[in-house]
Amino acid sequence: MIPVFKPAVGEEEWLALREPIMQGYLGLGPKTKEFEDKFAAYVSVPHAVGCNSGTSALDLAFAVLDLDGGEVITTSLTYVATNHSIIRTGGVPVFADIEGDTGNIRVDEIERCITPRTKAICVVHYAGHPVDMDPIMELAAAHNLPVVQDSAHACGSRYKDRMIGSFGPINTFSFDPVKNLATGTGGMVTVLDPEIDARMRRLRWLGHARPPGTPAAPGEAEYFHETVEIGYRHHMNDLSAAIGIVQLGKLDRHNQRRRDIAAMYDAAFTEIDWLETPVTKDYAYTSQHKYVVRVGTEYRDDFMAHLKSKDVGCHVHFVPTHLHAAYKPYRTELLPVTEVFWKQIVSLPMFPTLTEDEIAQVIEAVRSYAPPASAGSGRSASSVLA
């Protein structure tokens, strides 16, 4: 079975682990600082805070906003971690609808959802395709609202020649095994404000003002810390950071390979009238984290079963958050585009080490499928969402 995702790691990552192991830095140490500095330089931002997961990065992002029961306008078409973090840090998610072609949150929907209780806006760059950020940032500025960008899919993406992660107050990234930059476990927050940076560094280490490894002041007990506020155990470790440094050096090459594979898929599927390929807007340069096609709702599951019978893995990314049982108290708005879109989407295999034979196998599996005779065109079914 060809998997949907597979980390692209090799001997360099293996060898990179030697240094922190030999030096005895298995937790938060100098490799984390090195990775933070290199990642900050990559995205052209002054501060990057290493975390132990993308979810932890989201926790820090929302924690520094002091939500205190306020509303966060967000998307439902995301992994539940995005919206779990809003609730976990004292916020109330308010779901806005999405674009029918990219799957990204819509600015007019954000505007519709703004109330006196709104404390922040959260966007997700779905599948690596950047959200159209300028109108959202303008709207946010008009209402004095911070914008959190969940960039878990968008490491290496650009919006109008600006790196995702380089603008806006807070951006979060995930480095788990299926991501474009994979460290096994890890995440990062990029920020512009030095005070937010300092606060996040305290919060990721239980709220301690004195970083780990820093000698105690004269007369101060070694394990006494002047805790400014209660924090988390969300820091990155040097083993993940060592792998991350190597992966960062490969990121642009790997992302280009992803785009090349997407182009091969696009060319092979262009004449299929029952399937929609992903779009790329003029303002977007995508990391191509996922390759998500759309087919008719009535035969989506049958199509997926066909792919698996051909040893081609596929997934649905995602079941919208507002449909999960834990979110029943927050389901206050109808989301017509989201509720159709997710029933049409199928993620095909997308990772940089896909071989030519595997790509051909995926293409053959898709092209050999025949929708039921009674089914409508996938293009006409989904085009109403665009």
Q: What percent of the chain has pLDDT over 70?
A: 97
- Indicate left, alpha or beta for 133 from its phi (over 0: left) and psi (-120 to 50: alpha): alpha
The pLDDT of residue 375 is above 70: no
pLDDT digit string (tens) for 105-152? Answer: 999 999 999 999 999 999 999 999 999 999 999 999 999 999 999 999
Q: What is the DSSP letter of 325?
A: G
Of the candidates 360, 383, 385, 376, which has an alpha carbon nearest to the alpha carbon of residue 300?
376
Of the candidates 144, 180, 140, which has an alpha carbon nearest to the alpha carbon of residue 42?
180
Give the mean pLDDT of the chain: 95
Element (H, E) at 200: helix 194-203
- Give the chain's domains with CATH numbers: 11-248 (3.40.640.10), 251-383 (3.90.1150.10)
Of the candidates 134, 132, 174, which has an alpha carbon nearest to the alpha carbon of residue 156?
174
**Which amino acid does the sequence have at 3?**
P
Distance (Å, rounded) from C-alpha 98 to C-alpha 126?
10
What is the per-residue pLDDT for 82?
A: 98
How many CA atoms lie within 13 Å of 315's alpha carbon, on the beta-carbon side? 14
Among 121-130, 219-228, 272-281, 349-358, the minimum mean pLDDT is found in: 219-228
pLDDT-derived band at 61, boundaries 50, 70, 90: very high
pLDDT digit string (tens) for 13-34? Answer: 999 999 999 999 999 999 999 9
Burial class (CB in 10 A: 0-12, 13-18, 19+), 83: buried
**Position with higher pLDDT, 38 vs 221:** 38
The pLDDT of residue 79 is above 80: yes
Distances (CA, A) of 288 to 114, 251, 263, 277: 31, 12, 11, 13
What is the per-residue pLDDT for 385?
A: 53
pTM: 0.96
Distance (Å, rounded) from C-alpha 225 to C-alpha 67?
26
Q: What is the DSSP letter of 328?
A: G
Of the candidates 181, 174, 151, 179, which has an alpha carbon nearest to the alpha carbon of residue 163?
151
**Which amino acid does the sequence have at 126?**
Y
What is the per-residue pLDDT for 332?
A: 79
Tokens linked to 125: 């760059």
What is the per-residue pLDDT for 128?
A: 98
What is the per-residue pLDDT for 380?
A: 39
What is the per-residue pLDDT for 221?
A: 84
The pLDDT of residue 377 is above 60: no
pLDDT digit string (tens) for 277-336? Answer: 999 999 999 999 999 999 999 999 999 999 999 999 999 999 999 999 999 999 877 899
DSSP 210-274: SPTTPPPPTTS-TT---BSS---B-B--HHHHHHHHHHHHHHHHHHHHHHHHHHHHHHHHTT-TT
pLDDT digit string (tens) for 169-218? Answer: 999 999 999 999 999 999 999 999 999 999 999 999 999 887 777 788 88
Distance (Å, rounded) from C-alpha 289 to C-alpha 257?
11
The pLDDT of residue 355 is above 60: yes
Active-site residue numbers? 179
Cα Rg, the chain, nearest whole Å: 22
Size of the chain in residues? 386
| Helix, strand, or coil (residue 109) | helix
What is the per-residue pLDDT for 226?
A: 77
The pLDDT of residue 382 is above 80: no
What is the per-residue pLDDT for 381?
A: 37
**Stretch 51-62: mean pLDDT:** 98
Contacts of 191 (CB under 8 A, 6+ apart): 45, 46, 47, 48, 49, 169, 170, 171, 197, 200
Dihedral angle sign, alpha carbons of residues 203, 141, 132, 158: negative
What is the per-residue pLDDT for 78?
A: 98
Q: What percent of the chain has pLDDT over 90?
A: 90
Q: What is the DSSP letter of 327?
A: G
What is the per-residue pLDDT for 245?
A: 98
The pLDDT of residue 225 is above 70: yes
Provide the H-helix boundaries in 17-132: 18-23, 30-43, 54-63, 81-88, 107-113
* Sheet hosting strand 187-191, strand order edge to edge: 47-51, 187-191, 170-174, 147-150, 118-124, 71-75, 92-96
What is the per-residue pLDDT for 376?
A: 57
**Position with higher pLDDT, 219 vs 138:** 138
Distance (Å, rounded) from C-alpha 125 to C-alpha 372?
33
List the helix and strand counts (H, then E) for the chain: 13, 13
The pLDDT of residue 384 is above 60: no
Beta strands 118-124; 71-75: pairing state: parallel
Tokens linked to 193: 């404000």
